[in-house]
Structure 1
């Protein structure tokens, strides 16, 4: 009788391990296309960008750390597809772009460019634009091309 109980218990443990290992391996499902719509914005002034995660990773060879970074702006080099990541708004907390009056204030204070860049990245849209457009400009320069979009209307569809 003890042998049957032991066998049954080990079988259940084995089945549980298979399911647990499968869920650990699976990680977080990454959507092929990510709609860059954030509830932090009461309204959007431009069309919502539909970011093709699959295309950037598979076709363009972008590594996770090319977009995802730590709190010091350093690439998350060990990140792999399916790992949990924080939403950009978690750190870049202020929705939108830097208001013009704030930019004027920074000029009045004669802040250095690296200081203003750091302050600007607290704004969600500024951080996203800096990340995406910066990468696209670098890619275009390295490839002597203009294929990677750098203007608003190339990524933001017209709103109806």
Structure 2
């Protein structure tokens, strides 16, 4: 059996180590990433998990920011979420009805405002077809991307 002195020493050491751990945890907080690590898109067809690292890493798809975020085309610091323009129906409020509401015709390729779902489907399927991943566009295999 251990002596009372040894137990007090062990308890004291445990308390000190706990305090040191708490202080170190509070003194060195983790940095918040500049971009979201993962995004879970909620859709009528099921959830879609998007991982930035997989898409931007050289061992993944190696995509640049502007491969997906087409607006603005010259300022990486001003990238905006797709949902700011490509939202649901216009009655949600705030959605431009056509791209020309905000852009000059010479600045953009397609002036028709697509819905968020259509914009994602077009962007995602074209890129995944290029890399040979995922179902071909127009495929009925929704569960390849959408988790039901």
TM-score, normalisation: structure 2: 0.51
Once the 2 structures are TM-superposed, how far is the Cα of residue 32 of structure 1 from its aligned partner? 2.0
Extract structure 1 runs of 4+ deviating beyond 4 A: none
User: 1 or 2 for the larger relative contact order (CA 8 Å, sep ≥6)?
Assistant: 1
Once the 2 structures are TM-superposed, how far is the Cα of residue 129 of structure 1 from its aligned partner? 0.4
Counterpart of 1:89? Answer: 83
- The alignment yields a C-alpha RMSD, in angstroms, of 2.7
Who wins on radius of gyration, i.e. which is larger? 2
- Distance in 2 of aligned mates of 1:52 and 1:148: 15
- Distance in 1 of aligned mates of 2:87 and 2:44: 18
Once the 2 structures are TM-superposed, how far is the Cα of residue 70 of structure 1 from its aligned partner? 2.1
TM-score, normalisation: structure 1: 0.48
The 1:27–1:118 alpha-carbon spacing in structure 2 relative to 1, beyond 3 Å, is: farther
Counterpart of 2:115? Answer: 123
Once the 2 structures are TM-superposed, how far is the Cα of residue 137 of structure 1 from its aligned partner? 1.5
Counterpart of 2:69? Answer: 68
Contact 1:34 1:51 in 2 (8 A): yes
The 1:32–1:57 alpha-carbon spacing in structure 2 relative to 1, beyond 3 Å, is: same
How many pairs align? 92
